[in-house]
Homo-oligomer: A and B are copies of this chain.
Amino acid sequence: MIVLKGAEVSAKIKEEVRAALLSMKSPAPTLAILRVGENPDDISYERSAVKKLTEFGLAVQSHVWPADIEPEAFLREFESINRDPGIDGILLLRPLPKQLQEQEIEHRIDPLKDLDGISPINMAKVFSGDPSGFAPCTAEAVMELLKAYEIPIVGRRVTIVGRSLVVGRPLAMLMLTKHATVTICHTRTADLTAACKNAEILVAAAGSANLITGDMISPGAIVIDVGINVNTDGKLCGDAAFDTLNGIASMATPVPGGVGAVTTAVLAKHLVKAASTRRGHSTPRA
């Protein structure tokens, strides 16, 4: 079984980003990360994003507010960042605390700065197969991983387990646009094993540890694991029981070290695309 490593994909994306930066004027494209409260998952993601983007030669600002910020104050702060011509892209860490309306932000965020594809304009572009917008970084990380490892998609049977707005639904549309035959499964699917066994490429994006095991896949299948879970020993693990895939899957991504490592590289690529578009350069291809 070939282990598909996110670091190698990230290195390829870094080369693309570096090449694109050569033709751009200073200042470096600038990302604003918006965090409300001290959620450890948010802090961890923010840290890895800052590290990755800085390595890539990009600039990052962190904006942090207390978890109990008033809705009006947050909206005011958000709008000032949203309109700031010095900021090329925005990443809003979610979910937000309950007093804040995420939908309000989704509708207000400048689609040209919306690197994680939360605005209706970008959702509609992903839905309709228009590559000019931004898909959610995690969904696009799966596509980048397949591309980097030169895994063909056209005409192949892809099963996606999970129908979230962050991965399952947008990934189904990206796969469809690349001519895969796509099946979407979820908690209400009657026979999950049959749907998984039917897949040439299986994407696990259910958020459920050890949901997918080797006996559920066909020999030679490629397993892409988008899950990030914590197992009973307190260790990070994916949606697939990685060890059980060995000898059955032809290729699989580990967790950690698989799709997650690509997601922040996609964020960097999106930032360069946003800066190019906003500054009137030609945009790198999505």
Instruction: Give the interface of A toward B (CB within 8 A).
Output: 120-121, 123-128, 154-157, 163, 165, 169, 172-173, 176, 179, 181-186, 188-190, 195, 198
- In-complex Cβ contact of A123 among B124, B163, B169, B195 (8 A): B124
> When A123-B128, A124-B120 are in contact, do A172 and B188 touch as well, CB less than 8 Å?
no
Q: Can you list 17 contacts pairing A with B, beta carbon distance less than 8 Å?
A: A120-B120, A120-B121, A123-B123, A123-B127, A124-B127, A126-B127, A127-B173, A156-B190, A163-B176, A181-B183, A181-B184, A181-B189, A181-B195, A182-B183, A183-B183, A183-B184, A198-B198
In the complex formed, the residue of B with least CB distance to A130 is: B103
- List residues of chain B with CB within 8 A of the CB of A182: 183-184
Task: Identify A188's interface contact among B154, B188, B195, CB under 8 A.
Answer: B154
Task: Assess the A169–B173 pair: CB atoms within 8 A.
Answer: yes
Q: Contact between A165 and B128 (Cβ–Cβ < 8 Å)?
A: yes
Complex Cα distance, B163 from A128, in Å, reads 10
Per DSSP, are chain A's interface residues mostly helix, strand or loop, or mixed?
mixed
Chain B nearest Cβ from A242, distance in angstroms: 25
Q: How far is the CA of A123 from the CA of B126 in the complex (A)?
A: 10
Chain B nearest CB from A120 CB (Å) reads: 4
How distant is A165 from chain B, measured CB to nearest CB, in Å? 5
A163 to chain B, nearest CB (A): 5
* Structural contact, A179 and B169, CB atoms closer than 8 A: no
With A121-B124, A163-B176 known, 12 other A-B pairs at CB within 8 A are A120-B123, A120-B125, A123-B127, A124-B124, A127-B169, A155-B189, A172-B184, A179-B188, A181-B185, A181-B195, A183-B183, A183-B184
Chain B residues whose C-beta falls within 8 Å of the C-beta of A121 in the assembled complex: 120, 124
Q: Which residues of B contact A120 (CB under 8 A)?
A: 120-121, 123-125
Q: Contacts of A126 on B, CB cut-off 8 Å?
A: 127
Identify the 7 closest CB pairs spanning chains A and B, nearest first.
A120-B124, A123-B124, A179-B188, A155-B190, A183-B183, A127-B127, A181-B189
